[in-house]
Chain A
Amino acid sequence: MNRDNDKGKVLISRSIILGGMQLFLLFMIVFRLYYLQVYQADKYKTLADENRISTRLLVPARGIIYDRHGNILAGNQQNFQAMMIPEQTRSIDETLTFFKKILPLSPEEEKRIRKDIKHNRSFVPIRLKDNLSWEQATQILLNSPDLPGVIIDEGLSRYYPYGDTMAHVIGYVAAVSDKDEKDDPLLDIPGFKIGKSGVERLYEKELRGKAGNVKLEVNAFGRIMKEIELIEGTAGNRVDLSLDVRLQKKAYELLGEESGAVVMMKVDTGEVLAFASAPSFDPNMFSNGLSVENWKKLNQDEKKPLLNKAVAGLYSPGSTFKMVVGLAALEGGALNTNKYSNCYGKMMLGNHTFHCWKRDGHGALNIVQALQHSCDIFFYETAQKIGIAKIASMARKFGLGSKTNIGIENEKDGIIPDAEWKKRRFGESWQLGETIISGIGQGYILTTPIQLAVMVSRIANGGYAVVPTFKKVEHADKTQFKNLGVSLQNLDLVKRGMYEVVNVAGGTALGAAFNFNGQQMAGKTGSAQVKRISMRERQTGVIKQEDLPWKFRDHALFVAFAPYDNPRYGVAVLVEHGRSGSKVAAPIAGQMLLEALKLDTTDKPVD
Chain B
Amino acid sequence: MYKAYETSFRGQKLSWSDKLWNISFSYVLLVLILGAIGITILYSAANGSWNPWASKQLIRFSMGFVLMMTLAFVDLRWFLRYAYWFYFLVLGLLIAVEIGGHIGMGAQRWINLGFMKLQPSELMKIALVLALARYFNSANLQSIESIKGIIIPSIMVILPVILVMIQPDLGTAIMLLLTAGAMFFAVGVQLWKFAALICSGVAALPLAWHFLHNYQKNRVLTFLDPERDPLGAGYHIIQSKIALGSGGIFGKGFLNGTQSHLNFLPEKHTDFIFTMLSEEFGMIGGVLVIILNLLIIGYSYFFALRSASYFGKLMAVGLASSYFLYVVINISMVLGMLPVVGVPLPLISYGGTVIMSVMAGFGLILAVNINRFINIGKDQG
Closest to A20 in B: B301
Which residues from 308 to 334 on chain B have a C-beta closer than 8 Å to any C-beta of chain A? 310, 313-314, 317, 320-321, 324, 327-328, 331-332
CB–CB A33/B286 < 8 A? yes
Which among A35-43, A255-263, A512-520, A575-583 touches the partner chain? A35-43
Q: Indicate if A290 sits at the interface (CB-CB under 8 A).
A: no
Closest to A8 in B: B310
Q: Indicate if B200 sits at the interface (CB-CB under 8 A).
A: no
How many chain-B residues does the 8 Å CB contact rule pick out? 52
Given A14-B187, A22-B297, A37-B248, also A4-B263 (CB < 8 A): no
How many chain-A residues does the 8 Å CB contact rule pick out? 43
CB–CB A52/B328 < 8 A? no
Bound together, the chains give a CA A155 to CA B297 distance in angstroms of 64
Q: Indicate if A142 sits at the interface (CB-CB under 8 A).
A: no
CB–CB B328/A36 < 8 A? no
Q: Mark B254-266, 1 if CB is under 8 A from A, else 0.
A: 0000110111100
Of B294, B317, B335, B337, which contacts A15 at CB under 8 A?
B317
Bound together, the chains give a CA A402 to CA B336 distance in angstroms of 71
Which residues from 504 to 537 on chain A have a C-beta closer than 8 Å to any C-beta of chain B? none
CB–CB B278/A15 < 8 A? no
CB–CB B264/A19 < 8 A? no
Bound together, the chains give a CA A8 to CA B139 distance in angstroms of 12
CB–CB A26/B294 < 8 A? yes
CB–CB A44/B314 < 8 A? no
CB–CB B186/A18 < 8 A? yes
Bound together, the chains give a CA A32 to CA B331 distance in angstroms of 10
Given A6-B141, A18-B317, A29-B335, also A36-B264 (CB < 8 A): no
Q: Indicate if A606 sits at the interface (CB-CB under 8 A).
A: no
CB–CB B313/A12 < 8 A? yes
Q: Indicate if B37 sits at the interface (CB-CB under 8 A).
A: no
Which among B59-67, B219-227, B239-247 touches the partner chain? B239-247
Bound together, the chains give a CA A40 to CA B278 distance in angstroms of 14
Residues on A with C-beta less than 8 A from B150 are: none
CB–CB A30/B142 < 8 A? no
CB–CB B140/A15 < 8 A? no
Q: Within the complex, what minimum Cβ distance (angstroms) separates A517 from chain B? A: 76
CB–CB A217/B258 < 8 A? yes
Closest to A40 in B: B245
Q: Indicate if B188 sits at the interface (CB-CB under 8 A).
A: yes
Closest to B282 in A: A37
Residues on A with C-beta less than 8 A from B290 are: 26, 29-30, 33
Residues on A with C-beta less than 8 A from B327 are: 26
Residues on A with C-beta less than 8 A from B74 are: none
Bound together, the chains give a CA A318 to CA B317 distance in angstroms of 113
Bound together, the chains give a CA A7 to CA B310 distance in angstroms of 9
CB–CB A225/B262 < 8 A? yes
Find the residue from B142, B245, B278, B305 having the highest chain A CB count within 10 A.
B245
Residues on A with C-beta less than 8 A from B293 are: 26
Closest to B145 in A: A10
Residues on A with C-beta less than 8 A from B304 are: 15
Q: Indicate if A34 sits at the interface (CB-CB under 8 A).
A: yes
Of B246, B320, B378, which contacts A4 at CB under 8 A?
B378
CB–CB A217/B262 < 8 A? yes
Q: Indicate if A349 sits at the interface (CB-CB under 8 A).
A: no
Residues on A with C-beta less than 8 A from B188 are: 7, 10-11, 14
Bound together, the chains give a CA A22 to CA B300 distance in angstroms of 12
Of B142, B246, B328, B335, which contacts A44 at CB under 8 A?
B246
CB–CB A41/B141 < 8 A? no
Given A14-B188, A37-B249, A219-B263, also A44-B244 (CB < 8 A): yes
Q: Mark A42-58, 1 if CB is under 8 A from B, else 0.
A: 01110111011000000
Q: Indicate if B205 sits at the interface (CB-CB under 8 A).
A: no
Q: Indicate if A134 sits at the interface (CB-CB under 8 A).
A: no
Given A3-B142, A37-B247, also A18-B328 (CB < 8 A): no
Of B186, B249, B331, which contacts A38 at CB under 8 A?
B249
Which residues from 227 to 247 on chain B have a C-beta closer than 8 Å to any C-beta of chain A? 239, 241-247
Q: Within the complex, what minimum Cβ distance (angstroms) separates B208 from chain A? A: 23
Q: Within the complex, what minimum Cβ distance (angstroms) separates B182 from chain A? A: 6
Q: Within the complex, what minimum Cβ distance (angstroms) separates B260 from chain A? A: 10
Residues on A with C-beta less than 8 A from B320 are: 19
Q: Indicate if A348 sits at the interface (CB-CB under 8 A).
A: no
Q: Indicate if B287 sits at the interface (CB-CB under 8 A).
A: yes
Q: Indicate if B373 sits at the interface (CB-CB under 8 A).
A: no
Using a CB–CB distance below 8 Å, which chain A residues touch chain B? 3-4, 6-8, 10-12, 14-19, 22-23, 25-26, 28-30, 32-34, 36-38, 40-41, 43-45, 47-49, 51-52, 217-221, 225
Q: List 19 A-B contacts (CB under 8 A).
A: A3-B140, A4-B140, A7-B187, A11-B186, A11-B310, A11-B313, A15-B305, A15-B317, A17-B185, A22-B324, A22-B328, A32-B332, A33-B290, A36-B335, A47-B242, A48-B259, A48-B264, A51-B258, A51-B262
Given contacts A41-B249, A52-B262, 18 further A-B contacts (CB under 8 A): A11-B310, A12-B313, A14-B185, A16-B301, A18-B317, A25-B324, A29-B290, A33-B278, A36-B335, A37-B278, A37-B282, A37-B286, A40-B245, A44-B245, A47-B245, A48-B259, A218-B262, A225-B262
